[in-house]
Amino acid sequence: MSAHTGRSGDDSRSVIFDLDIATTRSGWLLTALCLAYATAALCLRPDRYLHLAKSYAEPFIFFLPALLAAGLGLVGLRFARHNPTRFMLDLLRQRWLGAAPVVLLFFLGLTAFTTFKISIPDVVPFYADRMLAQLDLGLHGGDPWTWAHRIVPEPVSAVIFAAYGYGWHVQWFGTLLFAAFWNNPAGRMRYLWAFALTTILCGTVLAAALSSAGPIFHDQFYGGDRFAALQTALAQNGYAASVHTYANYLLAVYQSGRPELGGGISAMPSMHVAVATLNAYFLTGFGRRWATAGWSFAALILFSSVYTGWHYAVDGYLSIFVVSLLWYLTGRFVLPQTRRNTVDVGSAIPQPVATLA
């Protein structure tokens, strides 16, 4: 972290010291918010929450360490080619104490998110799909999925299904892990606040207020053949097998009422688009190339959410608006005016071993 103040050394140290205090207070507030979110889910459906916690434990134990090792390996090769192994071990030794609570809170929050998501139709039955489908139609002069399929040839759609089904999860977990180990307290805290609020507001509050199933499930829940052509287009696409498999899984979980890993049907707003947009804002702080990569991926996820039939286009639009607002507000909250003028929030990725703080 660096200060650009032109003040004396004592003044600069005071600014950074104040920043650390404020960040610590923000951290306690964020921890309380995440624990309250998890506690609410536990109290609402203790059986579901505990079952899901066990279900998520195994992927966390195996997937996150593998992703962390891969990420640290790439960073080590980039910043300490002479001794990447030492870089990785030093980074783990110096940062694990700050990163561990982030990973734990993410685990508790993800379990709560899925608990709420599965429970939404029990509290607020699906009602908004006809309105959202009509809004999509009015805004675009037709169903957006039709022109999405028209402009993308089937071989290219393989990229869409891979990015939406696999690439998004890697970016989701990978960016959070990076933030957990990042050596910029203010930027780190801003991202974590925005991440938590995005999950709670988009993934639970708005999802319940605008309870909807999405185009891919529209006809099953509302009857008729409004999106029969979409089903046909996906059935004829040789690369869409993952969509059919997961849709059948979600429908089976919904009908059985079981709390299963990755379960829950909810379209509006799109969490895929919300997380990709949040990560695009975050990556913008690291320079033009990272910004281009982040926003290109967010645009791909928005397009893919419509192409695959999981979402109406307006699901993604609302996600972008809400996340943009949250990113601005968390900047105001975590980075008051004095800090935004003096601290380089977009400081670099972890430094080489010799300069790690």
Report the chain (357 residues): mean pLDDT per 10 consecutive residues: 41 43 73 95 94 88 79 70 72 77 92 94 94 94 93 92 92 88 85 96 96 95 92 91 90 86 91 97 93 96 96 97 96 63 40 42
Residue 86: the pLDDT is 74
User: Is 259 within 8 Å of 111 (Cβ atoms)?
Assistant: no
Position 3 in a domain: no
Position 4 in a domain: no
**How far is 250 from 124, CA to CA, in rounded Å?**
18
User: Is 211 within 8 Å of 266 (Cβ atoms)?
Assistant: yes
Rounded to 10°, the helix 84-123/9-44 angle is 40
User: Is 314 within 8 Å of 139 (Cβ atoms)?
Assistant: yes
Q: Domain span at residue 76?
A: 9-355
Residue 335: the pLDDT is 67
Position 301 in a domain: yes
Position 2 in a domain: no
**How far is 56 from 263, CA to CA, in rounded Å?**
12
Tell me the whole-structure pTM to 2 decimals. Answer: 0.85
Question: Rounded to 5 degrees, what angle do the CA atoms 89, 107, 39 make?
Answer: 140
Residue 23: the pLDDT is 55
**How far is 87 from 81, CA to CA, in rounded Å?**
9
**How far is 66 from 243, CA to CA, in rounded Å?**
25
Residue 64: the pLDDT is 78
**How far is 234 from 219, CA to CA, in rounded Å?**
15
User: Is 146 within 8 Å of 68 (Cβ atoms)?
Assistant: no
Question: Total domain count for the chain?
Answer: 1
Q: Is 352 helix (H, G, I), strand (E, B) or coil?
A: coil
Residue 327: the pLDDT is 96
Q: How far apart, in Å, are the Cα atoms of 298 and each of 163, 202, 271, 285?
A: 10, 16, 12, 16
Position 210 in a domain: yes
Q: Which alpha helices (DSSP H) does the chain contain, by range?
A: 9-44, 46-79, 84-123, 129-140, 144-151, 154-162, 168-181, 185-197, 207-209, 215-222, 228-235, 241-256, 271-284, 288-307, 313-334, 337-342
Contact residues for 155 (Cβ-Cβ < 8 A; gap 6+) = none
Cβ of 301: how many Cβ atoms within 10 Å?
27
Position 165 in a domain: yes
Position 1 in a domain: no
